[in-house]
Amino acid sequence: MTTTEPRHIRLLIADDEHLIRGALSALLNLEPDIEVVASVDNGVAAAEQALATKPDVCLLDLEMPGADGIEAAARILSTVATKVVIVTRHARPGVLRRALAARVSGFVPKSTPAEELADVIRDVVAGKRYIDPEIAATALTAERCPLTDRELDALRFSRSTMSVQEIADRLHLAAGTVRNYLSSAMTKLDARSRHEAAEIAWQQGWI
């Protein structure tokens, strides 16, 4: 009687694109040492399922509703002893810095073949860090963010339809203070509106 080889790496996958998530789950489950224990479509659910399933690795899409991959990573790593690998279709320059600050262990493009992705997962479980070389090169030559943390906070909320007062409430600040942060950010980025400034900051990967 033969016995199957036990799987050692428990994997959580979060991606809001159903086909990609399903394909990743199917392909990575074919690896003899990897088992997909949770599959979700947003960052909030990723944090919840990570707490519930305690995976060895969380494979998170960068752009997801609820919380993006880096925000989800920060939530997960604050409560669960796991590793996080971020996958992205568009590697905006400043995003890698955000990811590293959140203690992410891997950062790879979505074009990475499943077998290579499996090797990255094994590497991070072994305590290594993997950053795609092209993403790393882009990040090294990217312009550094000229904005303060508070200006970035105000711009992050400005990507939504929230009013200045609603942003102020979320940040526990006075509306006038938030307007000052937004005005300063607009000046630094040569933007005509807070929404344009937020878009510039997002394109650079600062928020």
- What does the buried/exposed string (b/e) look like for 112-141 if buried means 16 or more CB atoms within 10 Å of the residue's CB? beeeebbebbbbbbeeeebbbeebeebbee
Instruction: Give the separation between CA 114 and CA 22, rounded to whole angstroms.
Output: 12
Predicted confidence at residue 4, as pLDDT, reads: 53
Query: What percentage of the chain exceeds 70 in pLDDT?
Result: 92
The whole domain housing 105 covers 9-141
Is residue 53 domain-shared with residue 121, that is, in the same domain?
Answer: yes
Is residue 126 domain-shared with residue 176, that is, in the same domain?
Answer: no
Q: What is the mean pLDDT of the chain?
A: 89
Q: What is the mean pLDDT of residues 47-67?
A: 93
Question: Cα torsion at 188, 189, 191, 194 (round to 10°)?
Answer: -80
Residue 3 in domain: no
Residue 5: count other Cβ atoms within 10 Å of its Cβ.
8
CB neighbours of 121 closer than 8 A, spacing ≥ 6?
Answer: 9, 11, 28, 34, 57, 59, 85, 106
| Three-class SS state of 198 | helix
Residue 22 in domain: yes
Predicted confidence at residue 93, as pLDDT, reads: 64
CA-nearest of 41, 47, 50 to 19 is 41
pTM: 0.70
Contact present, 39 and 67 (Cβ < 8 Å): no
Instruction: Give the separation between CA 75 and CA 124, rounded to whole angstroms.
Output: 19
Residue 51 has pLDDT above 90, yes or no: yes
Count of structural domains within the chain: 2
| Three-class SS state of 12 | strand
Residue 168 in domain: yes
Task: Quickly state the pLDDT bin for 142 (edges 50, 70, 90).
Answer: low
Task: Quickly state the pLDDT bin for 134 (edges 50, 70, 90).
Answer: confident
pLDDT digits (tens, 9 = 90+) for 18-40: 999 999 999 999 999 999 999 99
- What does the buried/exposed string (b/e) look like for 45-73 if buried means 16 or more CB atoms within 10 Å of the residue's CB? bbbbbbeeeebbbbbbbbebebbbbbbbb
Task: Quickly state the pLDDT bin for 56 (edges 50, 70, 90).
Answer: very high
Is residue 163 domain-shared with residue 119, that is, in the same domain?
Answer: no
Residue 153 in domain: yes
Predicted confidence at residue 136, as pLDDT, reads: 80
Q: CATH code at 94?
A: 3.40.50.2300
Return the structure tokens found at 157: 């909320």
Is residue 21 domain-shared with residue 122, that is, in the same domain?
Answer: yes
Is residue 22 domain-shared with residue 108, that is, in the same domain?
Answer: yes
Least confident range from 53-57, 81-85, 168-172: namely 168-172
Q: What is the mean pLDDT of residues 107-123?
A: 93
Residue 2 has pLDDT above 60, yes or no: no
pLDDT digits (tens, 9 = 90+) for 88-106: 887 676 778 788 888 999 9
93, 112, 141: which is the final residue of a domain?
Answer: 141
Q: CATH code at 178?
A: 1.10.10.10
Predicted confidence at residue 96, as pLDDT, reads: 80
Predicted confidence at residue 160, as pLDDT, reads: 83
Residue 89 in domain: yes
Residue 17 in domain: yes
Is residue 71 domain-shared with residue 137, that is, in the same domain?
Answer: yes
